[in-house]
Structure 1
Amino acid sequence: MTTRAYGDRLIASVAACAWAPLALTALTAAGGCVVALALPASMAAAVDAAVTGGDALLATVRLAFLLGATALVDIVSAIAGAAYSASAAGSLRMRLANRLLAVNIVEAGRFPTGELVNRLVSNAATTASVPMTLIGAGSGLVTSVGGVVALFTIDWRVGAAFLTGVPLALVVMRVFVSGVSGLYDRSQAAQGRLAARLTETLAGIRTVRAAGTASHETSRVLRPLPDLSAAGHALWRAQARGGWQFTLTLSLIEILVLATAGFGVAEGRLEPGAFLAAAGYTALGLAFAGLTETLMGVAHGRSAARRLCQVFALPVLPSGTVPLAAGPGVLSFRGVTVIREGGPLLDDICLEIPAGAMTAVVGPSGAGKTTLALLAGRLTDPDRGEVLLDGQCLADLDLASLRGAVAYAFERPALLGGDLASAIAYGGTVSDLEEIRAAARAAHIDDVIRRLPAGYRTPAAGVWLSGGEIQRLGLARALLRRARLTVLDDATSSLDTVTEAQVTAALRDGSRGRTRLVIAHRPATAARADLVVWLDSGRIRAQGTHRELWRDPAYRALFAAVSNGEKPCPATP
């Protein structure tokens, strides 16, 4: 099935999620068509009654009723439309967010953060609007056909005059719509690239200011702007061409109809009110001209839906059904291979991490350390081989039970939650403030939090902390979980040597009996570990204690930069 077909299916599923307000919108649209088609005839009857001395009161009451019905339909339609838009866009964004949370974390990295935000916010709303746009198109088409039929009931000559110009109008519409769909794709792709670059720059705004590179970053962020401008100008040119062509064609049709009706009144074939009705039904018949804007909206929405389908196409990590049994925390890698962009990140890794041990993983940049850490808690899956926890394959396990058994601390932890206490307790079952403080003390962040005006109740959003302090909050979160397996992925890279030693000691002594996997860059961290695994080019080069491996000059060279007071891997500013 093509991406276009998947996009259409996505639009249909969005409509099904908010069917009630959408159905009400369709009903009001149908009622609006009936009222609109009855109004010109009622106006004609009122005019004829006034001219011929008929029952003008009844005709006026009928006209007033139709005008009131028009207002009521408009009000209900506006309310139903707003309810549908909120419900449909909200449900689509929720589905998209849930998909992103379920996908393989490595695959999700294919899209920059700003690009995903653009799709989640803008493209989701545009996609959700398509069913409403189609209802508008349907009501416009019905109104147009009804108007033409009414013209024929007035006089076949009047109807024929209208149809004379329709083929030309349809040709103009077809040429216009066929040319704008690709322009919408180009425009939205450029918007996504621009949003991604802007998000990257805002995330590193302190570095930009410190380096004095604001002008350079401005140029980099705006680099997709010429593509966006070109697509926008092309759309405007297409609209301008279509605009004057439509205006000319529709004016020609209107002149033909009114001239024919005028001759009918002059010759006595038609009543004066019929001329007024012909003018009204001509306007309704020309409603098909509005389909151009409608079809542009549909093209825009289908383009947005195709962009969302690219996200929905990302592979998810399917949850198994087997609950995780109790166990000591033995972590095993059996023939594990991970391939990305044509090359192996990890190649045939066979490794067993003992229960309750603290294992350090060392190696140069690009050796596969982070990939190994992601595999340990099944944040990604291997292309070959399997990862086991206490003899159970992670792919077979229920994800909820696995998440409860594995705690992570990352290089740049996200402070999620209302306040700092909630940020430390995030994702766990512990909410007691004393236990949260104990974890913070173990991570050597308690004194920093206490110095803040609101202490542990300080809002997590926007709190001004250093990179090392934020890392210690992430470490406190991992320590609080008391998980069977704790994984530290570069989680101490921003700590000074003394604090890193204190945190590592707390991790070693305060988590005895629980398995710990630590990505290490400092020799002191490796020295405190029970086992050191040395990765090189995606393979295990050696494993043993730090003392045993230290005899190898190449192993000592890994830590030479640290010994000289430099970081082995550049820290993200």
Structure 2
Amino acid sequence: MAQTRTAPTGTAAGKTPGRRSPGDRILLGATRHSAARTAALALLAVAATGATLLLPAVLGHTLDLLLARRGAEATRWVLLCTGLVCVPAALDALDEVLSGTTAARTTAWLRHRLLGHVLAAGPRATARFAPGDLVTRLVGNAADVGTAPGTLAGSVAAVAGPVGGVVALGLIDPWLAGGFLVGAPLLALLLRAFARVSGDCATEYQRLQGEIAGRLVEAVDGARTIAAAGSAERETARVLAPLPELSRQGHRMWRVQGRAAAQAVTVVPLLQITVLAVAGLRLTQGALSVGDLLAASRYAVLATGVGVLVGHVGALVRARTAAGRVAEVLAEPATAHGYCRLPAGPGTLELRGVRAERGGRTVLRDVDLVVPGGTSLAVVGRSGSGKSVLAALAGRLADPAAGVVALDGVPLRELGHDTLRRAVGYAFARPAPLGGTIGGTIAFGAFDPGPDAVTDAARAACADGFVRRLPLGYATPCEDAPLSGGESQRLGLARAFAHAGRVLILDDATSSLDTLTEHEVTRALHGTTTRTRVVVAHRASTAARADRVAWLADGRLHATGTHEDLWRDPEYRALFGAP
């Protein structure tokens, strides 16, 4: 099976000194997108925290009134205590609903943006990221980022609680706040260590999730090969090979969180005891009342609210790590298009000084080639000679590292997106049925060619016959029409015939056709001079029907000419297994 491709996490998301990292910018963008909802969540959280902070003071004052036997006045304060208990509960319920809808809305926005960027980047994105890893980033990591606005809003309240508790202790008696602040640096160090270690765990955990997903998609895609090779157990072991390390990182995250909780259990009671000891001393000195002592005990609990902070810090760390992985995808540049239109012309295709690279390796170099408008060119060569790369460059599914590809004198880079896609049509060895129905698959493209053009294209591709035998003909859903490899290729050819304006590029698009069908399709292909045709050929018969042949060898244009002229060369004949 193909080796899983996984981009190194952190490369694109690495932080340049003095600048926000790409991941942080993603988090900021997600928060801005839901700014109103985030503000509402923050207000709800702060209001609930405010009520919680008022409650100890009100309870303390109520207790003092009761001890002073001022029952009539105390009744009003008891009712106020009841209200302060109920208000946070109601606000928390609203917060839960709003948090869920905000996370869903933000996740949907980010997934839409991410999917649009992946499709705009085209083959470059799938060349860098394995499909399974890409899906993990788009689905799982985007969902983690989607929780960031709610988590940030909750973090405001999570910080406001301890800060408010310390301020309240200071208002009751400055000595109480001083006693607490002596040990506060220990809590800060605990949170900092937790954030750092849990960040490392989350990064590795999410990377391993993407790797397993990538391997799984490869295995599903190669299910027939695995079954034929009898290697199901070995492939299962390969797919799940990262699982022990994933488990180790997961357990490590739980250990980090457990260690932080254990340390908090040790430190927090000491701080609370310190506050209570100071409060008791001040009570004996007459500086505090019994109600003040009760309030101080409650504020000491609020001031040491490390558990809430640990939860929010953990969620923010996961969201930030996920944002870094999302940022790596968005860092892959999308294809930029110009604004030029094509002048009137026959569809002359030119490659001038073209060099192409894949994975840091030069696969085409110094290619100079002209395909006159309305003619056909067969591209031949051994495996790895650069045929498919040249086909991709000819219609700008990829850009050359150097040189220019032009159509009727206009560089493809300068053409508008719609102009380019209306001018160039493609057919591939394994076309994807993306139109929903069989007819929709043929019509799928930059424009709808109309039902008559769809039918004509299907006839030219020798697909009309088997399509009409389907239960609903052209309206048959793709999932209800299991197709052979040859039938799928004929639909792909029909789609290309229906959309190609000036140039038609076939990249191994007839490899699954039987000889008779291939002959009929090729006759239809070469029976017109209104389109320029570029055909990646593996059969001598296909090359023989082309007007000219471009022979690639070792990434260079070895020779051009007619098939008849090149056939005199033994090396050329060897490409087709002929003596």
The normalised TM-score by structure 1 is: 0.92
Aligned-partner Cα distance in 2 for 1:410–1:97: 23
Are 1:22 and 2:32 an aligned pair? no
Q: Which residue of 2 aligns with 1:303?
A: 321
Secondary structure of 1:3's partner?
coil
Structure 2 segments unaligned to the other structure (5+ residues): 1-11, 16-20
Deviation digits for residues 305-337 of structure 1 (CA, Å, limit 9, x no counterpart): 222222222233211121222321110111111
Question: 2:4 aligns to what?
Answer: none
Per-residue deviation, 1:393: 0.8
| Equivalent in the alignment of 1:115 | 133
* One-letter amino acid of the counterpart of residue 41, structure 1: A
Between 217-226 and 128-137, report the one with greater CA deviation.
128-137
Say if 2:209 is the partner of 1:209: no
Instruction: Choose which of 540, 545, 557 in structure 1 pairs with 2:557.
Output: 540
Match of 1:559 in 2: 576
Q: Could you say which residue in structure 2 is the equivalent of 1:414?
A: 432
Using the TM superposition, give the Cα deviation of residue 137 of structure 1 relative to its aligned residue in structure 2, in angstroms. 2.1
| Cα deviation 1:522-561 (Å, max 9, x = unaligned) | 111111111111111111111122222111111111111x
Aligned-residue sequence identity (percent) comes to 43
CA separation of 1:383 and 1:267: change in aligned 2, threshold 3 A: same
Q: 1:3 aligns with which of 7, 14, 17?
A: 14
Preserved contact between residue 141 and residue 288 of structure 1 (Cα < 8 Å): no
* Structure 2 Cα separation of the partners of residues 241 and 65 of structure 1: 37
Q: Answer yes or no: is 1:550 the counterpart of 2:558.
A: no
How far, CA to CA, are the matches of 1:411 and 1:117 in structure 2?
24
Match of 2:405 among 366, 382, 387: 387
Query: 1:260 Cα deviation (Å)?
Result: 4.4
**Residue 39 (1) aligns with residue 50 (2):** no
Letter in 2 for 1:557: A
State how far apart, in whole Å, the 1-side matches of 2:124 and 2:105 are.
31
Task: Check whether the contact 1:7–1:309 (CA below 8 A) recurs between aligned residues.
Answer: yes
CA contact (8 A) 2:425 2:496 kept: yes
Whether 1:450 and 2:461 are equivalent positions in the alignment is no
2:251 corresponds in structure 1 to 233
1:419–1:456 contact (8 Å) kept in structure 2 = yes
Query: Which whole-Å CA distance do the structure 2 matches of 1:103 and 1:432 have between them?
Result: 28
**Could you tell which deviates more after superposition, 260-269 or 459-468?**
260-269
Aligned pair partner of 1:523 in 502, 518, 540: 540
Which aligned pairs between 1:183-332 and structure 2 lie closer than 5 A?
183-261=201-279, 270-332=288-350
| 1:505 Cα offset (Å) | 1.5
The separation in 2 between residues aligned to 1:361 and 1:453, in whole angstroms, is 39
Report the CA distance between 1:190 and its aligned residue. Answer: 1.3
Residue in 2 that maps onto 1:148: 166
Q: 1:125 aligns to what SS in structure 2?
A: helix
Could you tell me how far apart the structure 1 residues matched to 2:156 and 2:94 are? 18
CA contact (8 A) 1:104 1:315 kept: no
Structure 1 residue 374 displacement after superposition:
0.7
Partner Cα distance (2:266, 2:359) in 1: 55
Range that drifts further, 6-15 or 130-139: 130-139
Q: In the alignment, is residue 514 of structure 1 matched against residue 531 of structure 2?
A: yes
Return the letter of the residue paired with 2:457: A
Q: Which moved more, 1:360-369 or 1:241-250?
A: 241-250
- 1:338-391: per-residue Cα shift (whole Å, max 9, x none)? 123343211111111111112111111111111111111111111111011001
Q: Residue type of the partner of 1:9?
A: R
Aligned pair partner of 2:389 in 368, 371, 378: 371
Q: Secondary structure at the match of 2:305?
A: helix
- CA shift for structure 1 position 293: 2.6
SS in 2 for 1:453: coil
Q: Are the counterparts in 1 of residues 261 and 307 from structure 2 also a CA contact under 8 Å?
A: no
State the shift of 1:418 in Å.
2.1
Structure 2 residue matching 1:172: 3-state secondary structure: helix
2:394–2:405 CA contact under 8 A, matched in 1 = yes
* Separation in 1, partners of 2:280, 2:373: 96
Are the equivalent residues in 2 in contact too, given 1:22–1:80 (CA < 8 A)? no
Counterpart amino acid of residue 24 in structure 1? A
Give the whole-Å Cα distance in 2 for the aligned partners of 1:549 and 1:474: 30
Q: Is the 1:324–1:398 contact (alpha carbons within 8 Å) kept by the matching residues of 2?
A: no
Q: Does 1:94 align with 2:112?
A: yes
Residues 407 and 483 in structure 1, CA contact (< 8 A), matched pair in contact too: yes
Partner SS state of residue 32, structure 1: helix
Compute the displacement of 1:394 (Å).
Answer: 0.8
Q: Where does residue 28 of structure 2 map in the other structure?
A: 12
User: How big is the shift at 1:245?
Assistant: 1.1
Counterpart among 468, 479, 484 of residue 497 in structure 2: 479
Contact 2:13 2:328 in 1 (8 A): no
Contact preservation (8 Å) 2:125, 2:329: no
| Mapped contact 1:337–1:347 kept (Cα < 8 A) | yes
Offset, 1:79: 3.3
User: Which deviates the most, 19-28 or 388-397?
Assistant: 19-28
Partner Cα separation in structure 2 for residue 206 and residue 138 of structure 1: 54
Conserved? CA contact 1:407–1:487, under 8 Å: yes
Q: Tell me the distance in 1 between the aligned counterparts of 2:92 and 2:42.
A: 12
User: 1:444–1:503: 8 Å Cα contact kept in structure 2?
Assistant: yes
Deviates more, 1:452-461 or 1:32-41: 452-461
* Bigger mean CA deviation after superposition, 484-493 or 23-32: 23-32
Q: CA RMSD in A?
A: 2.3
TM-score, with structure 2 as normaliser? 0.91
Aligned-residue offset at 1:266: 6.9
Decide which of 490, 499, 502 is 2:508's aligned counterpart: 490
Matched positions, count:
561
Of residues 384, 388, 403, the one that matches 2:421 is 403
Cα distance in 2 between the residues matched to 1:323 and 1:71:
63
TM superposition shift of 1:263: 5.8
Distance 2:129 2:13 in 1: 21
Instruction: Give me the whole-angstrom Cα distance separating, in 2, the residues matched to 1:454 and 1:48.
Output: 83
Residue number in structure 1 paired with 2:155: 137
The Cα offsets for residues 446-483 of structure 1, whole Å up to 9 and x where unpaired, read as 23223332332222247422222211111111111142
Query: For the Cα contact (< 8 Å) 2:461–2:490, is it kept in 1?
Result: yes
Inter-CA distance 378–159: structure 2 relative to 1 (3 Å threshold): same
Which residue identity is paired with 1:18? S
CA deviation map 1:223-268 (0-9, x unaligned): 2223322322322222232221111111222333345445666776
* Aligned partners of 2:118 and 2:125 also within 8 Å: no
**1:61 is aligned to 2:79:** yes
Query: Structure 2: how far apart are the matches of 1:341 and 1:105?
Result: 13
Cα distance in 1 for residues equivalent to 2:428 and 2:491: 10
Question: Contact 1:250–1:286 at 8 Å: present in 2 too?
Answer: yes
User: Do the aligned partners of 1:148 and 1:159 also contact (CA within 8 Å) in 2?
Assistant: yes
| CA distance, structure 2, for counterparts of residue 279 and residue 470 of structure 1 | 74
Residues 13, 324 of structure 2: 8 Å contact kept: no
| Amino acid corresponding to residue 515 of structure 1 in structure 2 | T
Taking the aligned partners of 1:361 and 1:325, their CA distance within structure 2 comes to 27
Indicate the SS of the match to 2:406: strand
8 Å CA contact 2:470, 2:481 repeated in 1: no
The AA in structure 2 aligned to 1:430 is D
Contact 1:108 1:314 in 2 (8 A): no
1:325-340 superposed matches below 5 A:
325-340=343-358
